Amino acid sequence: MSDLAQKQCKPCEGGVAPLSADEVAMLLKHLKGWSLSNGMLTRTFEFRNYHETMAFVNATAWISHREDHHPDLTVGYKQCRVDYITHAISGLSENDFICAAKIDALFDL
């Protein structure tokens, strides 16, 4: 489990700058399978069946609720795409990477 997964998200109400391209590149190295797309941190997870997909979606929702940082989820029969962005700053924050790392840890169970 990455060090990011051990951190807690901090409330973000705006008024701070999004992470720089260098900061994003550095944090991205700590995640597996995640990439940048349209300014968002994104990953598509594949599953064996619908039941596993929905279990993942529900667990992701629980993690998101605990961290008070919510991704956009696109759900299909055997896959779920997770997109993170910090809407309050219209860019990426450390919170996006913390939650992504927690989702990675969940997926590795």
Reported as a single tens digit per residue, the pLDDT across 54-102 is 999 999 999 999 999 999 999 999 999 999 999 999 999 999 999 999 9
Cβ neighbourhood burial of 11 (10 Å; 0-12, 13-18, 19+): exposed
Please report whether residue 8 resides in a domain. no
Please report whether residue 60 resides in a domain. yes
Q: How many domains does the chain have?
A: 1
Q: What is the residue-wise DSSP string for 34-94?
A: -EEETTEEEEEEE-SSHHHHHHHHHHHHHHHHHHT---EEEE-SSEEEEEE-BGGGTB--H
The pTM of the full predicted model, rounded to 2 decimals, is 0.91
Please report whether residue 109 resides in a domain. yes
Report the CATH number that the domain containing residue 55 is assigned in CATH: 3.30.1360.20
Please report whether residue 80 resides in a domain. yes
Range of the domain at 56: 39-89+98-109
* Cα gap 30→49, rounded to integer Å: 28
Please report whether residue 23 resides in a domain. no
Q: How many residues does the chain have?
A: 109
Please report whether residue 54 resides in a domain. yes
Please report whether residue 20 resides in a domain. no
Residue 109 has pLDDT above 70, yes or no: no
Q: In the predicted model, what is the mean pLDDT of residues 37-53? A: 96
